[in-house]
Every structure is written in C-alpha cells, then in structure tokens.
C-alpha cells in the first residue's frame, strides 16, 4: 500500500527517521544522562531523582546482578512493582547490565506469577514487599534464585521514606506475612552493588531487551520478544512525532498507567526520557483523589492514559479545577477512546485528547493521530514514520481503499517473535513480514485508519488484554463445570468485561461460587463480571466452542417470551 498518510503528517514531523540512532537502550539512557544530568528524571510521592542519580543507582543494581548474584549475560530479571522510584532504577540497571526484563503485574495471583516466571526462566526478581507473600508462594517451582524486596519508602529519603514504610506496614497493614529464604532488601542490593563497578556489556540492536507478556487468541499469555532495536525504533518514531510540539529538557509527563504495561513503559517512560523530561509516577491510579492531589502539586505538560482513566478524572471536581495552561499533550491508548470522553476532556482542559493504537508486538505504537488535531475524529490514527499498513481479506489479499479487512502492520518496531512459541509466531506473521493484528479496519483517503471490529477473541478490560482461553482453563478446573466459553461484553466503566457461559456438571453450582474460585487464580480485572448458565454451547462441526456466536448472542440477547 502506498504511504498516502505521510502527506497528512503535521509540519515538522519527518517521515524518515533514524530508527537505529542508538545501539541499545543503555546507550540511549547514557545519552539522556549526558545531555540532562541535573534535570529531574522521575518524581514519586514528592521525591525526585535526577538523570545522573538515576544512572548511579541503576548501575549499582546492575552491579549487584553481575557481581553478587552472578547472573550470566542475557538472564531474565523479573520486575513486580508499581510506579515507584525502585522501578526505573531496577529497569535501567538490568538493561544496562545486559539482562532481559520480564515485567510482572503486581496484582497477579501466585498461580499467574508462577506460570510467567516458569515460562520466562527468570532467575532474579524485584518485588514490592506488599506483594512478597504472592511471590513466596510462586517461586518455589521456578528458576528464581535471587530476590530483592522493595518497600514503598525506598529512595524517598529520610524521614519521608521511614514514615511511608511505617504507615503502610503498621497503620494500614497492607503487607501480608511472607518468608522468602535468602531474599534481601532492595536498598541492601544497591549498597552491595556499589562495592564493585558494573561492567557494561557490548549490547546491540539484535539483543533481547524484554519478554513482554501478552497473548494470542487462545491459551495462556506468551512473551513477546522485544529487542533493543525494536524498542529504540519505536521511541525514535515517537520522538519524530512529538518533537515539533515539545522542548527538550522542559517537559513533565504524568504516568498513571503502570510501567509494567508496554504503553506506559515505551510511550511515557522511555520516549519522554529521550527528550529529558521529568516523569511523574503515579503509584495507584485507582486512587483518583490521591492522583489529583499529585497533579495539583506538579506543573505538568503531558499525560498519557486509557479511556477509563480519563473518564474517571473528568468526574472528579478537583481535577476539573486544575490549571491546564501548561499542558501540551494528552495521549490515549490501550483501548478505544470514546467520543464523549474526548469532547469533555477538551471542554475541561482546553486541549484535545489524541488517540493512538498499538500492540505489545509493536513495542507498542503503530498508529497515532496528529498532535495538532483540533477535535476528536474517531480514527485510531495515521501509521507512524517507517511503518507500513496493509488491510487484507481472509485470503491475504489487500482490499480496495475504504473496504474492511484485517489490519496488518510492518515496521522496525515489530517483535522478533513469541518466546518458545514458533507455531504461534508463524501464525501471526504473513509471508511478507506483516504482523496480523486481529483487528478489522478501514483506511480513508488521507490514510487515517479506523478500527471497526475485532477478528480475534481477545477481551480488552481498561486497556489490559484478557484472553478467553486463560479464563476458560481456570473455570474448567472447578469440578462443578462441564463446559465453559468466555467472551467480552460491553461495560460502561471498563470498556469491556469478561462474561462466561457455563454448562453445569453440578446443578447446585452458583455464580458466587465460580467468582470465588476464579479469585484464587486470576487478577481482579480478569474475574468474570457476568455468568450465564446454559444447557449447551454453540460449537463447530468438530466440537470447537463458537465464541463469536456467544459474543453476538450476548450483545443481542433474544427478547423475553410474551406473558401467558
């Protein structure tokens, strides 16, 4: 497909960018430290880390992994913390020392965590103490041999850090009892690492940087292999897009989405680090009141998030009274942006809410609307620089302009493949190197892509991917379940929610019992919000459950029978 979209790029956005500007993320990090050594890099709970100090602490952590734990190059290091100062320190320490980062959701159950640690082969784990009890149950049957336990107050300084730790543990009692033999405090790991210099390995664009877990249309999540080169390419693409609208070293970006999510990691953290911005880390975005207090204390110039977060902020009276005069950029991703939310955002802030589109497999950004867009246009955006888009039918042929087809993407930001899943890797890539997204789209004459449907069965809950096969596997473990199908249904708060349709083996089985069962194995956003019992499920002639039929029936339930 001809790159018709390049003519619609905003003034100053170069369609031809150097996607290999740096050999690795370590080199890019070092470049930012050299250019902005005394600028604030990260803000958390009122504490600040400069670029120089972030590098010093990161190298101490990298040294601990190299010299104390003695991990071999390329070993997997799992991070299980929310947006606290410990996260970027551990992130850049592990990457700089030549290790592969495995991001883990702190709200995982021990079942989910164990599965991810086993699959990735992680040998070291950084976990916030609040979630150490979960980790203690999960690591016994994994390759993890070194654990650093962080605390809320780490790196906040005295007395703020000590007070935060006391309140979390003694007042709010948010730390369940745990025991992990050999685990050490994160701050102790930094102290031990400072005794010897870290030896930065010779990293290149083909070296693996992240195993970022996502999923396919069935089964459990898989690790997308994101190389240093693919992530840097996406950062450079984003840098070209935002540069006409920002000033290097002068921006403050709000990061409410968790950094273990690829959207926040690349778009908020790594991209804005590239321009020397300060990153305001929000540890708990579900606490809207607390988040708004943080925003009131900091003159921010940009914010990223998902539709549900922006909607929640707009409902908060104190947020609507904030000073938005310095805000330049608001970017929505992770899930579809609703027109009503976009229009209200502009009415309240005076700035448009810009929608983008991406996938973990794209590191993640593939499409984004122009930052000079004045009003919501309903499009997912234009293809980013150095990104090709092809819209194809089921036979793999490109459809005519304006017609529906599967959105396929090609560019230097694509993953290398799925870890240990060659069959699924082959299935998701076309013979000419395009990634099949599973989303049905159209392209208008200017090159704007509109997402109109979803081909694959994945459920999108507040920007988080939920895979029906994973839910079905867990529900099927219950002895009272004969068969189960999981689908997504519309939800005003989260965009979509999980619904399960169950055929009972035990007639006494009730919805509350199934919800309690699921809570043992699944993080909160994966728990079914709707449960329907039936005598049978729709199936193909070979016995495969027809999720699409279940989804359509759930969206358009039959009318109730007439009264007798």
Residues 64 and 178 in one domain: yes
Residues facing residue 531 across a β-bridge: 500
**C-alpha to C-alpha distance for 197 and 60, rounded to whole angstroms:** 8
Q: Are strands 464-466 and 495-504 parallel, antiparallel or unpaired?
A: unpaired
Q: Are 470 and 219 in contact (CB under 8 A)?
A: yes
d(CA 68, CA 476): 44
**What confidence tier does 219 reach under pLDDT thresholds 50, 70, 90?**
low
| Separation of alpha carbons 369 and 357, rounded Å | 9
pLDDT category of residue 218 using cuts at 50, 70 and 90: very low
* DSSP class of 160: H
Q: Which two tokens stand for residue 300?
A: 């921010």
Average pLDDT, stretch 300-304? 97
CB-based contacts of 438, cutoff 8 Å, min separation 6: 217, 406, 454, 455, 456, 458
Average pLDDT over residues 495-523: 96
- Residue 273 inside a domain? The answer is no
How many whole angstroms separate alpha carbon 70 and alpha carbon 73? 9
Domain contains 526: yes
Whether residue 133 sits in one domain with residue 52: yes
Answer yes or no: is pLDDT of 318 > 90.
yes
**Judgement on whether residues 61 and 161 belong to the same structural domain of the protein:** yes
pLDDT tens digits for range 4-63? 999 999 999 999 999 999 999 999 999 999 999 999 999 999 999 999 999 999 999 999
The mean per-residue pLDDT over the stretch 453-476 comes to 86
Decide if 116 is inside a domain: yes
Is residue 351 a part of any domain in this protein?
Answer: no
Rounded to whole angstroms, how far apart are CA atoms 86 and 248? 25
Asked if 292 and 319 touch (Cβ cutoff 8 Å), the reply is yes
In this structure, are residues 97 and 63 in contact, taking their beta carbons and an 8 Å threshold?
A: yes
Q: How far apart (Å, rounded) are the C-alpha atoms in residues 165 and 511?
A: 39
DSSP 8-state class, residue 337:
P
Comparison of pLDDT for 552 and 352, the residue scoring more: 352
**Last residue within a domain, chosen from 454, 484, 511:** 454
Q: Kindly state whether residue 314 falls inside one of the protein's structural domains.
A: no
Radius of gyration of the CA atoms of the chain, in A: 23
Whether residue 564 is predicted with pLDDT greater than 70 in this model: the reply is no
Residue with tokens 């006409």: 244
Predicted pLDDT of residue 182: 97
Q: In this structure, are 471 and 417 located in the same domain?
A: no
- Give how far the C-alpha of residue 64 lies from the chain's centroid of Cα atoms, to the nearest Å: 27
Q: How far is CA 401 from CA 75, 481, 546, in A?
A: 46, 47, 31
State residue 554's pLDDT score.
84
Q: Is 117 found in the same domain as 193?
A: yes
Residues 464 and 450 occupy one common structural domain: no
What pLDDT shows up at residue 216?
46
Calpha distance 253→83 (Å, rounded):
13
Ranked by mean pLDDT, the top range of 367-376, 451-460, 480-489 is 367-376
539 with 397, same domain?
A: no
| One-character DSSP codes across 132-161 | HHHHHHHGGGSS--EEEEE-TTTTS-TTHH
Helix/strand/coil for 490: strand
- Write down the pLDDT at residue 562: 61
Cβ neighbour number for residue 43 with a 10 Å cutoff: 22
Give the pLDDT score at 114.
97
DSSP letters for 55-86: HHHHHHHHHIIIIIS-PPTT-EEEEE--SSTH
Query: Are 465 and 525 members of one domain?
Result: yes
Domain termination site, one of 203, 231, 259: 203
Sole residue written with tokens 């708060």? 493
Rounded CA-CA distance 558/35 in Å is: 63
For 97-130, write each residue's pLDDT tens digit.
999 999 999 999 999 999 999 999 999 999 999 9
Confidence of residue 442 (pLDDT cuts 50, 70, 90): very high
Q: What is the mean pLDDT of residues 293-308?
A: 95
Averaged pLDDT of the chain? 94
Strands annotated E in 228-345: 252-255, 278-281, 302-305, 329-332
Is 181 inside any structural domain? yes
Q: How far apart are CA 295 and CA 283, in angstroms?
A: 13
Q: Is residue 251 part of a domain?
A: no
Distance between CA 281 and CA 294 in Å, rounded?
9
Measuring CA to CA, which residue among 208, 54, 236, 7 is closest to residue 121? 208
pLDDT confidence bin for 220, thresholds 50/70/90: low
CATH number, position 517? 3.30.300.30
Tens-digit pLDDT profile for residues 144-191: 999 999 999 999 999 999 999 999 999 999 999 999 999 999 999 999
Look at 537 and 98; give whichever has higher pLDDT.
Answer: 98
The per-residue pLDDT for range 344-402, each reduced to its tens digit, is 999 999 999 999 999 999 999 999 999 999 999 999 999 999 999 999 998 999 999 89
Residue 218 CA to residue 212 CA, distance in Å, equals 17
Final residue of a domain: which of 175, 203, 231?
203
Size of the chain in residues:
564
The pLDDT of 284-298, averaged and rounded, is: 95
Structural domain total, the chain: 3
Q: What's the pLDDT tens digit per position in 58-101?
A: 999 999 999 999 999 999 999 999 999 999 999 999 999 999 99
pLDDT at site 302: 98
**450 lies in the same domain as 463:** no
What pLDDT shows up at residue 490? 92
- Report the pLDDT value the prediction gives residue 336, as an integer from 0 to 100: 84
404 with 521, same domain?
A: no
Asked if residue 364 has a cis previous peptide bond (ω within 30° of 0), the answer is yes
What is the Cα–Cα distance from 231 to 463, expressed in whole angstroms?
A: 20
pLDDT of res. 560:
61
What is the reported pLDDT for 457?
Answer: 82
CA distance 347 to 350: 6
How much is the pLDDT for 455? 72
The domain that contains 172 carries what CATH number? 3.40.50.980
- Comparing CA positions, the residue from 50, 22, 56 lying closest to residue 37 is 50
* pLDDT (0 to 100) of residue 338: 86
Based on the fold, state whether residues 47 and 137 are members of the same structural domain: yes
Percent of the chain's residues with pLDDT above 70: 97
Which residues are paired to 59 by β-bridges?
Answer: none
Domain holding 464, by residue range, is 459-555
**Percentage of the chain modeled with pLDDT above 90:** 87
- Same domain? 421 vs 478: no
Residue 541 confidence (pLDDT) above 90: no
Tell me if 322 is assigned to some domain: no
What does the buried/exposed string (b/e) look like for 120-136 if buried means 16 or more CB atoms within 10 Å of the residue's CB?
A: bbbbbbbbbbbbbbbbb
């Amino acid at each position: 497909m001809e790159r018709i979209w390049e003519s619609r790029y905003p003034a100053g956005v170069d369609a031809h960018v150097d996607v290999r500007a740096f050999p690795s993320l370590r080199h890019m990090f070092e470049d930012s430290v050299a250019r902005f050594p005394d600028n604030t890099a990260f803000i958390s709970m009122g504490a600040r880390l400069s670029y120089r100090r972030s590098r010093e602490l990161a190298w101490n952590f990298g040294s601990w992994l190299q010299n104390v734990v003695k991990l071999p190059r390329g070993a997997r290091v799992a991070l299980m913390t929310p947006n606290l100062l410990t996260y970027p320190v551990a992130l850049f320490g592990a990457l700089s020392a030549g290790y592969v980062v495995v991001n883990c959701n702190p709200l995982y159950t021990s079942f989910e965590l164990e599965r991810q640690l086993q699959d990735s082969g992680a040998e070291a784990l950084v976990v916030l103490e609040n979630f150490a009890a979960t980790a203690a149950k999960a690591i016994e049957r994994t390759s993890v041999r070194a654990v650093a336990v962080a605390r809320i107050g780490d790196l906040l300084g005295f007395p703020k850090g000590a007070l935060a730790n006391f309140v979390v543990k003694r007042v709010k009692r948010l730390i369940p009892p745990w025991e992990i033999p050999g685990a050490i405090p994160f701050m102790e790991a930094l102290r031990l690492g400072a005794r010897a210099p870290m030896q930065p390995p010779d990293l290149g664009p083909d070296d693996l940087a992240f195993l970022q877990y996502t999923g396919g249309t069935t089964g459990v999540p898989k690790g997308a292999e994101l190389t240093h080169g693919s992530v840097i390419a996406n950062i450079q693409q984003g840098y070209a897009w935002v540069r006409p609208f920002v000033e290097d070293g002068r921006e403050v970006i709000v990061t409410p989405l968790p950094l273990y999510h690829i959207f926040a990691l690349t778009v908020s953290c790594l991209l804005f680090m590239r321009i020397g911005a300060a990153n305001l880390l929000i540890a708990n975005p579900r606490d809207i009141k607390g988040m708004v207090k943080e925003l009131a204390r900091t003159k921010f110039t940009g914010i990223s998030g998902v539709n549900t977060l922006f909607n929640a902020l707009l409902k908060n009276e104190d947020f609507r009274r904030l000073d938005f005069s310095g805000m330049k950029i608001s970017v929505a991703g992770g899930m579809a942006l609703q027109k009503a939310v976009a229009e209200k955002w502009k009415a309240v802030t005076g700035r448009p809410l810009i929608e983008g589109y991406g996938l973990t497999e794209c590191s993640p950004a593939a499409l984004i609307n122009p930052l000079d867009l004045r009003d919501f246009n309903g499009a997912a955006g234009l293809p980013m620089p150095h990104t090709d888009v092809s819209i194809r039918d089921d036979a793999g042929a490109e459809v005519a302009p304006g017609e529906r087809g599967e959105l396929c993407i090609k560019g230097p930001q694509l993953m290398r493949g799925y870890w240990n899943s060659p069959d699924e890797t082959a299935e998701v890539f076309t013979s000419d190197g395009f990634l099949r997204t599973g989303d049905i789209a159209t392209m208008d004459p200017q090159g704007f892509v509109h997402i109109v449907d979803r081909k694959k069965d994945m459920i999108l809950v507040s920007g988080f991917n939920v895979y029906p096969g994973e839910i079905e596997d867990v529900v099927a473990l219950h002895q009272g379940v004969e068969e189960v199908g999981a689908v997504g249904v519309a939800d005003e708060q989260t965009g979509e929610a999980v619904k399960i349709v169950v055929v009972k083996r035990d007639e006494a089985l009730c919805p509350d019992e199934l919800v309690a069962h699921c809570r043992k194995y699944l993080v909160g956003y994966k728990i079914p919000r709707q449960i329907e019992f039936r005598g049978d499920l729709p199936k193909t002639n070979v016995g495969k459950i027809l999720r699409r039929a279940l989804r359509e029936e759930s969206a358009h339930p039959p009318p109730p029978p007439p009264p007798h």
